[in-house]
Amino acid sequence: MEYVMGIDLGTSSVKAVVMGREGSILSAAGQEYEIMTNPAGYAQQDPRQWWEKTKEAVRQVLSRSRIMPEQVRGLGFSGQMHGLVALDREGEPLMPAMIWMDQRAEVERREVWELVRKNGLEKELMNKPVAGMLICSLLWVKKNQPDIYKKIGHVLLPKDYIRYCFGGGFDTDETDAGGSLAFSVRERKWCQKLLRLLDIPEDIFPRVRKPYEIGGVVTRKAAEETGLKAGTILAAGGGDSAMQLTGNGIVGEEILCCNIGTASQILAVSPVPLYDKELRSQTFCHSIPGLWYMQCGSLNGGSALKWLTRQILGTQKSYDQLCREAGHVEAGSRGLVFLPYLAGERAPYEDPHARGGFFGLSLEHGQAHMVRAVMEGVALNLRLCLDIFENMGLGGKKYMVVSGGGAKSGTWRQILADVFDLPVYRTQTVEEACAGAAFMAALALGWYETVEDMTRQTVRLETEPMTPVLGHVEVYREIRERFGRLSMLSRSY
């Protein structure tokens, strides 16, 4: 038997899975690490620790799978997007990685944004700069740590550093590069004009590959440290959202994808590179050539339910029990509306000062009403995001595929079905980003001809979706208008 391995370098942990040719997960393992947030506004991690934790996860998943190292034919990679890993000319880290959460480059973000608008680069980049994006962080280093900047020989995105440690080159891929804001998502190449305007040399940026291209092989040293076989191929892989899309089989225009983790997003695929003129959404390259995907992300999702249950209700009930009880509450929570803007908001409008709250509380409301109202608030906010997609020409979806922690709740899936008026499926895929990464290794090995062919043969939807309840659809259609008005109030809090 032959297998591939998928590695996902997340924000708080690295995960590894061993997958068979047919797409089934044989074993999985993970290792956690911390985010350094001191001083205030910083969010950084040690790339060397990523590598140490990755080695532990690989050794653990190999042990659990009980297979021989030579049976693992290839590795694919997924990872947190946007962050900056600065290396010297020998490939050694010069400083902690500035990850996507880092906020120190706000001045540089504004500078980049001014240049983008002044020079009409929105049509190339298709995304609005955020402080934690690679180009903003690199500009911050240039201005504030010139001694380090002068030593930079290579810049990488987080998962690309891990592939490099295994034996890869100084490479990235199209899906992850788009999140750097130094990359023309339309043309799928580095945006030379922006780099010239910022006086940043292009030669420090990695070579851009397709996610399923081979980007090196495991070195003898890495083999000794991980238990893998030297010479095992390394596929380029992709950014975590693209790999999660691929792992869930989202390769067609008829599907709307929804993820409810700590934050929440909706995503859709397009054969042309569309973007919102107000840049409220993000546009990235899909793992399939000739396809792009649009993402509209809220900063609030499962975090709102966690806040309610742990910090407000203080209940000892399990998450499953709370969700079941909320499922017995009528749609609309008896007039109780929750705005989920506990961490500010990014979409459907960007406002770091937006604030959340319950509206319509009365003596008849109890714990279950509040839990359901939070679930409904997250779903209704994502429905406002769909309006952005529809204005871009991304309407007319046939069904939704949902993933993340929120997908485990039947109550939440039913709410999504009713709010979006779409059948809602889950896939049978576990660890979707790891699975998508493993898929890239399978393609690199020639096990499948195309991404579409691979997902068609390996990704399975539930046989019975959550279907919209007509009465509930009407209730939420009425609530949406009220929710929209209340959300406007949150912006002027």
| Residues 347 and 471 grouped into a single domain | yes
Identify the CA nearest to 436 among candidates 243, 259, 212: 243
Identify the CA nearest to 75 among candidates 194, 177, 190, 222: 222
* pLDDT for 343: 84
Which CATH number does the domain housing residue 262 bear? 3.30.420.40
Q: Is residue 433 part of a domain?
A: no
> What distance in Å separates the CA atoms of residue 102 and residue 169, rounded to the nearest whole number?
26
| Residues 256 and 237 grouped into a single domain | no
Identify the CA nearest to 94 among candidates 142, 166, 52, 42: 142
| Residues 371 and 469 grouped into a single domain | yes
Segment (H or E) for 479: helix 470-491
* pLDDT for 493: 53
| Residues 205 and 346 grouped into a single domain | no
Domain boundary among 179, 213, 242: 242
Q: Is residue 372 part of a domain?
A: yes
| Residues 204 and 302 grouped into a single domain | no
pLDDT tens digits, one per residue of 220-244: 999 999 999 999 999 999 999 999 9
> What distance in Å separates the CA atoms of residue 60 and residue 248, rounded to the nearest whole number?
25
| Residues 34 and 92 grouped into a single domain | yes
The pair of three-digit structure tokens given for residue 79, joined into one six-digit string: 């990872």
Residues with pLDDT less than 50, the chain:
none
> What distance in Å separates the CA atoms of residue 14 and residue 35, rounded to the nearest whole number?
13
Q: Is residue 489 part of a domain?
A: yes
Cβ–Cβ < 8 Å for 300, 345: yes
Q: Is residue 444 part of a domain?
A: no
Residue range(s) defining the domain that contains residue 386: 250-426+463-493
Segment (H or E) for 140: helix 134-144
Task: Quote the number of domains for the chain.
Answer: 2
pTM value?
0.91
pLDDT tens digits, one per residue of 299-338: 889 899 999 998 999 888 888 999 999 999 999 999 999 9
* pLDDT for 316: 84
* pLDDT for 314: 87
Indicate the SS3 state at residue 75.
strand
Identify the CA nearest to 72 among candidates 9, 18, 12, 123: 18
Cβ–Cβ < 8 Å for 44, 35: yes
pLDDT tens digits, one per residue of 153-187: 999 999 999 999 999 999 999 999 999 999 999 99
Indicate the SS3 state at residue 365.
coil
Indicate the SS3 state at residue 465.
coil
* pLDDT for 351: 81
| Residues 174 and 254 grouped into a single domain | no
Identify the CA nearest to 245 among candidates 235, 254, 236, 258: 258
| Residues 26 and 111 grouped into a single domain | yes
* pLDDT for 492: 55
> What distance in Å separates the CA atoms of residue 99 and residue 96, rounded to the nearest whole number?
9
**Dihedral sign for Cα atoms in the order 250, 254, 260, 266:** positive
Cβ–Cβ < 8 Å for 46, 96: yes
Dihedrals φ, ψ of 295, to 5°? -130, 130
| Residues 216 and 333 grouped into a single domain | no
Cβ–Cβ < 8 Å for 154, 134: no
Q: What is 296-353 written as a DSSP string?
A: EEES-SHHHHHHIIIIII---S-HHHHHHHHHTSPTTGGG-EEE--BTBB-SSS-BTT
- Exposed, middle or buried: residue 150 (CB in 10 Å: 0-12, 13-18, 19+)? exposed
Indicate the SS3 state at residue 95.
coil
Q: Is residue 486 part of a domain?
A: yes
Angular region, 357: left φ>0, alpha ψ -120 to 50, beta rest: left
Indicate the SS3 state at residue 294.
strand
